[in-house]
Amino acid sequence: MNQAKIFPYFQPIVGIASGKIIGYEALARQVGPQSNIISAGELFSSPHIADQQLIEWDRIVRLQALQKFSESNGTGYLTLNISAKWIDYLSDFNSLPTLLMLEKFNIDRNRIIIEITESKGDLDKLVEVVNVYRKHGLKVAIDDFGAGFSQLERVMAIQPDIIKLDMRLFKEATKGGIASDIVHLLTRLAKRTGCRIVCEGVETAEEFFFGLSCGAQYMQGYLFSPAEADFKDSSHFQEQIGILRKTFLDNTLSREQRKIQYIAKIKTLCEQLKQALESDFNLNHLAAQPFEESGVLRFYLCNNDGEQISSNFNFAQGKWFEDVTQIGFNWAWRPYFYQLLALESEKDGYRLVTSERYRDFNTDVLCKTLSLRLDEKRILLVDIAAEWL
């Protein structure tokens, strides 16, 4: 293999808030059989090439990338991919090759992000190397977050500055379903740990919008640009991103307005239900109200200790029916219950408290539970389909 034919290309990473290019990821490229430029990914993932050879080629690409980065007039970051399993071959953590390269080209180390790839490698050594990088001012990212438990384990051990979502999971999540729930959960975890989130592999406007809904601060992908030989002006994609943000805002605003209208309708139905339950109620009379088309699944009553004191009154196919199996269950540990009591203790009671979305065990429907005070001794809980929320 001719080493001179392995070289870096640079894919821009854009900041959503500013619309500017905030940095680049250096990616290895090679000359293909038709003298075209192709990814060197297959080369670096080949099981037939020794790790030592791959490490040598990787360092050649890294050196070239840093040299070109040092000669540019940009102000952003450069992300360098380093395989976790290659760290096992390091013998002296005090003279890491990347740090020596940065010293050679006199590059501000605060502008360099080390992106840890692959799930293999000794975790203790990885943590030690990361600490050395951080000591010298470099930031650390974890690639393919969500690809497996090992990545969660790394997040807990390394506490990265940046998390890049697993591309396959991200693309699957844009279709909805459980993958979407998982990505939203992962991004919430990332934000709670103070990590910045990068969505990579963004190819369509729909994927861009999904990334925004997840709270991603940065994106990269063919929607903007493939990896190229040269750097662009930082404002190159500002107009495009501005249009995308505006479209997202318009679409989201319309959706939020529909949600508000739906919530108002649900509140009205809950008030009607509350009034009916304040005295002896007639299920057939309640069935005449538009509960089913509004997504109301069931209601039940609890006492102030969280114990369920009524049947589940389920609504389906235009009729109410009773399910006594959960009488005596206690729901005091659910947030929608104790939050209502906490509001009342602060003189802010008699209002509607809403749970987070969850998947109902019996119906497999995505739900939310609403809780409100019925009287001094009883609390009304209403389960609704969450498709509008």
- What tens digit of pLDDT does each residue of 284-336 get? 777 777 887 888 889 999 999 999 999 999 887 777 889 999 999 999 999 99
Residue of 377, 369, 380 lying closest to 303 (CA atoms) = 377
Computed over every residue of the chain, the mean pLDDT equals: 87
Residue of 260, 292, 299, 288 lying closest to 388 (CA atoms) = 260
297, 384 contact by CB (below 8 A): yes
Angle between helix 238-277 and 205-214 (nearest 10):
60
Rounded to whole angstroms, what are the CA distances from 235 to 12, 113, 142, 200, 213?
A: 11, 21, 27, 19, 23
- What tens digit of pLDDT does each residue of 130-169 get? 999 999 999 999 887 766 545 677 778 888 899 888 888 8
Tokens of residue 258, six digits: 């529909």
Domains of the chain: 3-227 (3.20.20.450), 267-385 (3.30.450.20)
What span, in angstroms and rounded, lies between the C-alpha atoms of 38 and 6?
10
| Angle at 339 (CA atoms; ends 337, 341), nearest 5 degrees | 75
Strand-pair partners of 382: 299, 370
What span, in angstroms and rounded, lies between the C-alpha atoms of 60 and 222?
26
What does pTM read for this prediction? 0.82
Any idea of the CA torsion for 21, 165, 364, 351, to the nearest 10 degrees? -50
Give percent of the chain with pLDDT exceeding 70.
Answer: 96
User: Any residues with CB less than 8 A from the CB of 178 and at least 6 apart, and which?
Assistant: none
Is 60 exceeded by the pLDDT of residue 9? yes
Amino acid 149 reads F
200, 14 contact by CB (below 8 A): no
Tokens of residue 76, six digits: 């952003």
Strand-pair partners of 369: 383
44-68 mean pLDDT? 91
Residue 377 burial class via C-beta count within 10 angstroms: exposed 0-12, middle 13-18, buried 19 and up = exposed
- What tens digit of pLDDT does each residue of 340-378 get? 999 888 776 557 888 888 888 777 788 999 999 988 899
